[in-house]
Structure 1
């Protein structure tokens, strides 16, 4: 863990999707440590409940593609949303297929989870986010920009989310919109994609979570550090910037 201080935030509320494991859980942990009030969601209620209890967070299990669930999630925040973290996503077919062999019938669900749901949730939260000068974090991937074999379907959804983040930032100047690429992480999702042995060699999600929460917290903290403008950033590059700043 880096010794870069994480900016503390007072009386702010964040919604985090996909919060029961991996990066979502790590982000929830870092946000809680920074003083955020949390509203967490994921599909698996048992594990989500354990995370929420440990962090003192409110939670609602459900599918982010379900309009009723999204509305209930925003309502659970009680009119106080300062941060929306769209982290929930799916790989689609596993093992990952080449484009020549991809099952296109899987794509509607893939795009529903990875593209439509984040924007639909943003639409519901935007009136509150505008009023409170809030922020949206859309978790993206290097698969959105690199020509990685078998990552075409998943990567195309993240590329779409990148562009929608760009446009949303231009349309909503009062709200920070960050597409944040955490890099390769030792998560269950990566293990499903590349195998457990290769996934175990990646960095833990806590490392990316620390960098992401540092970006987010700088928007509200009373500190020298300033949050970057809306745009696409990688957790690794942000960590390097911090090291250079400290040198």
Structure 2
């Protein structure tokens, strides 16, 4: 963004008073994002953390509550839920409404929850429609419906900025053999959020690819992938120390949010930040 006198505006020092909703927040990248957002929002903000594991969520909640931001009044609520289920989406929206207050100037939704799917077989092996439907429900439908519900719950108005982040992947852009479900889900999500950006010009929309992260999903990738060359690639990345930490990738996402220069709807890779 440029000022009226043509100077490039510096990045914001923080994200203001915000309501931040993060799915898949109990571990890995989602947990790292929650910890970073905690430090970048102003007092009076709230975080709503969502994941299937209640115990892991409560551990993150305790960590944030005991942090400097928590002691300064940051609210941290948890919703132990499967985002692929309708009642879970209702619980997330209800909790978000409960912690929102009129002093908040920003809403940030991080659509991070995702699964790898069965990478032990190729596309020709997916003959069970119920299996494919279940994958797409968790990885595509839930992100669309949660986003839609939150946008309806918090409609656009003067003084409220809304930002939706889709945690994407290189797999949204490139095919990986034996990763048919994952690539399909990520490509569908990218396009969904491109459409959203076109439909809602005041909304800030970003598909962020966090890169090859050292997570449990990576363990699945290098142990269960059917295609030998893809499997070897991931195994080599791990062996050669080429995986990124969740903290390093989250820091790049925070940089994008603070600078706020991305084109709404675009796909940005961690290595381009």
Ranges in structure 1 where 5+ consecutive residues have no aligned partner:
219-224, 239-247
Corresponding position: 1:26 with 2:60? no
Query: Which residue in the other structure is 1:43 paired with?
Result: 52
> Are the aligned partners of 1:187 and 1:199 in contact in 2 as well (CA < 8 Å)?
no
Query: Which residue in the other structure is 2:230 paired with?
Result: none
Query: Which residue in the other structure is 1:241 paired with?
Result: none
Ranges in structure 2 where 5+ consecutive residues have no aligned partner:
1-10, 66-75, 101-105, 224-233
> After the TM superposition, which residues 198-213 of structure 1 pair with which residues of structure 2 at under 5 Å, given as runs?
200=238, 201=241, 202-213=243-254
Corresponding position: 1:74 with 2:93? yes
CA distance in 1, matches of 2:176, 2:13: 35
The secondary structure found in structure 1 opposite 2:125 is: coil
Structure 1 window deviating more from structure 2 (130-139 vs 192-201): it is 192-201
* Deviation (angstroms), 1:10: 2.5
CA distance in 2, matches of 1:213, 1:168: 22
Q: 1:61 to 1:228 in 2, by over 3 A?
A: same
> Are the aligned partners of 2:126 and 2:132 in contact in 1 as well (CA < 8 Å)?
no
Q: 1:129 to 1:55 in 2, by over 3 A?
A: farther
* Deviation (angstroms), 1:103: 4.9
| RMSD between aligned residues | 2.0
> Are the aligned partners of 1:142 and 1:183 in contact in 2 as well (CA < 8 Å)?
yes
Query: Which residue in the other structure is 2:64 paired with?
Result: 55
Query: Which residue in the other structure is 1:186 paired with?
Result: 214
Structure with bigger gyration radius = 2
Query: Which residue in the other structure is 2:180 paired with?
Result: 152
> Are the aligned partners of 1:185 and 1:199 in contact in 2 as well (CA < 8 Å)?
no
Q: 1:199 to 1:116 in 2, by over 3 A?
A: farther
Q: TM-score, normalised by structure 2?
A: 0.77
CA distance in 2, matches of 1:187, 1:172: 34
The secondary structure found in structure 2 opposite 1:211 is: helix
